[in-house]
Amino acid sequence: MLYEVLRDRIRSSEPVVLATIIDGPGTGNRLLVWPGTDALGTLGNAEIDRIVGRDALGELEAGNTLVRHYGPNGETTPEDLLNTPTLSVFIESFAPPPQMWIFGAVDFTAALSKVGKILGYRVTVCDAREVFATKRRFPAADEVRVTWPGPMFAESGSTLGPRDAVCILTHDAKFDVPAVQGALATKVGYIGVMGSRKTHGKRLERLADVGVTAPEDLARLMSPIGLDLGARTPEETAVAICAEIIALRTGRKPPSLRDSSGPIHS
Amino acid sequence: MKDILDDIDRWRAAGRRVAVARVVNIEGSGPRDPGAAMAVSEDGEVAGSVSGGCVEGAVVGEALGILNGDGNPKLVKFGYSDDEAFAVGLTCGGIIHLFIEPLTW
């Protein structure tokens, strides 16, 4: 019964977190939690359910999956844990997929939407030109929206967070500028803007015209977009962009693995 | 987990018992993050993976042992420092902790 609820929520990309005792008294007990409702199942008693339930919702919000340790009644402070059995609780977050918004219905968009899907993003393509912004041209995208950046950000910008990416591929100032403005007003983790260094220089002038001059804002813009892989084709460029998104999220300055040392996973 | 749901549905619809193994912790270098999951049906069919292929064979054995034994969930460790390392160790040198349980919930 619990499994069916978990399964259905995972399938419909609704957030849910599963807490399972994996070591200590009550091993195998579990609690299924999601925002805005009572939890299902139990870890053993109401007190530990309340405390782990609260912690699990916090981990879900951050998208974390990890083991935490408690006393039999949810104790967490070291003094309370002396002389009491410890429970290891595996808290597994099932968060909705991160979002990738791509502005501009161009060839690069088709390739980027494919690579974005491979990486698990929910991909939305946005362009104001009805003849170009079609599902047929971007079959990999989850959604194709015929609209301007302004309304798009006004409607859904608040759903963007640190795990998400906005890629602006339009090369067109009347589309780029509002898209950059909209993205900067969100908490989105990655903002990439396509164009040569020269194009980006001109774009900065137009952004200044509309009042976007704060250094901390401009520092969020990745432009020219992508890692320096020497990419030429739309597909290669898509890989360069996605590699940059990963590196920005992990805080790495990517050299080749061969030329660095230390563990390859951390 | 998402990638193994269809197989689990299919096995359960056919009345077959299922065990699920999940990566719960990694020490050092590990190929899959916590949450990576693998399901094993009572007749030994497998869906998903918990490493880069290093320990899956041993996990099937553990899972079938649980399904055919007392049915109690089990915390299992595979890794370089383990006695079993030479049999089923991780090639990357890390330690992987798995929780294996029958899907009876």
Q: What is the pLDDT of residues A82-138, one digit of tens each?
A: 888 899 999 999 988 899 999 999 999 999 999 999 998 999 999 999 999 999 999
Are residues A31 and A8 both part of a single domain? yes
In B, residues 42-81, which contact A (CB 8 Å cutoff)?
A: 72-73, 75
Encoding tokens for residue A54? 């609260």
pLDDT the model gives residue B81: 47
Nearest chain A Cα to B20, which residue? A3
pLDDT at B77 over 80: yes
Q: Which among B59, B63, B22, B57 is positioned nearest to B41, based on CA atoms? A: B63
Residue A266 lies in a domain: no
Decide if A29 contacts A54 (C-beta within 8 A).
no
Chain B residues with CB-CB distance to A92 below 8 A: 1, 22, 34-35
Report the alpha-carbon distance of residue A127 to residue A133 in Å, rounded.
6
DSSP conformational letter for A119: T
Which DSSP helix (H) or strand (E) runs through A202? helix A197-209
Nearest chain B Cα to A263, which residue? B29
Domain final residue, candidates A94, A119, A143: A94
How close A266 comes to chain B (CA, Å)? 7
Q: pTM for this structure?
A: 0.73
Residue A260 lies in a domain: no
First and final CA of chain A: distance in angstroms? 36
Nearest chain A Cα to B5, which residue? A7
pLDDT the model gives residue B94: 80
Are residues A69 and A13 both part of a single domain? yes
Structural domain for A17, as ranges: 2-94
How close B87 comes to chain A (CA, Å)? 23
Encoding tokens for residue A130? 């009805």
Q: What total of structural domains would you count in chain A? A: 2
Are residues A235 and A199 both part of a single domain? yes
Are residues A175 and A55 both part of a single domain? no
Smallest Cβ–Cβ distance between B5 and the set A11, A20, A93 belongs to A11
Are residues A206 and A225 both part of a single domain? yes
Q: What is the pLDDT of residues A202-257, one digit of tens each?
A: 999 999 999 999 999 999 999 999 999 999 999 999 999 999 999 998 888 888 77
CATH number, domain containing residue A211: 3.40.50.720
Report the alpha-carbon distance of residue A17 to residue A65 in Å, rounded.
9
How close A224 comes to chain B (CA, Å)? 32
- Peptide linkage before A149 cis (omega within 30 of 0): no
In this structure, how many other beta carbons lie within 10 angstroms of the beta carbon of residue A219?
8
Are residues A60 and A166 both part of a single domain? no
Are residues A66 and A124 both part of a single domain? no
Residue A263 lies in a domain: no
Report the alpha-carbon distance of residue A234 to residue A101 in Å, rounded.
17
pLDDT the model gives residue B85: 46
Residue A25 lies in a domain: yes
How close B43 comes to chain A (CA, Å)? 21
Place of tokens 């099932």: A94
- A66 shares contact with chain B (CB less than 8 Å): yes
Domain final residue, candidates A94, A114, A138: A94
Decide if A265 contacts B32 (C-beta within 8 A).
no
pLDDT > 70: percent of chain A: 99
**Axis-axis angle for helices A107-118, A234-250 (nearest 10):** 50
Q: Which residues contact A212 (CB under 8 A, 6 or more apart)?
A: A180, A181, A184, A218
Are residues A86 and A122 both part of a single domain? no
In this structure, chain B runs to a length of: 105
For B21, the 3-state DSSP assignment is: strand
Are residues A7 and A132 both part of a single domain? no
Which DSSP helix (H) or strand (E) runs through A200? helix A197-209
Residue A151 lies in a domain: yes
Are residues A114 and A222 both part of a single domain? yes
Q: How confident is the model at residue B13 (pLDDT cuts 50, 70, 90)?
A: very high
Q: What is the pLDDT of residues B19-33, one digit of tens each?
A: 999 999 998 877 788
Residue A213 half-sphere exposure toward CB, CA atoms < 13 A: 5
Are residues A113 and A145 both part of a single domain? yes
Are residues A199 and A212 both part of a single domain? yes
User: With 0-12 CB in 10 A as exposed, 13-18 as middle and 19+ as buried, what is B28?
Assistant: middle
Residue A226 lies in a domain: yes
Chain B residues with CB-CB distance to A19 below 8 A: none
Q: What is the pLDDT of residues B30-48, one digit of tens each?
A: 778 899 999 999 999 999 9
Encoding tokens for residue A74? 């949810």
Residue A180 lies in a domain: yes
Residue A261 lies in a domain: no
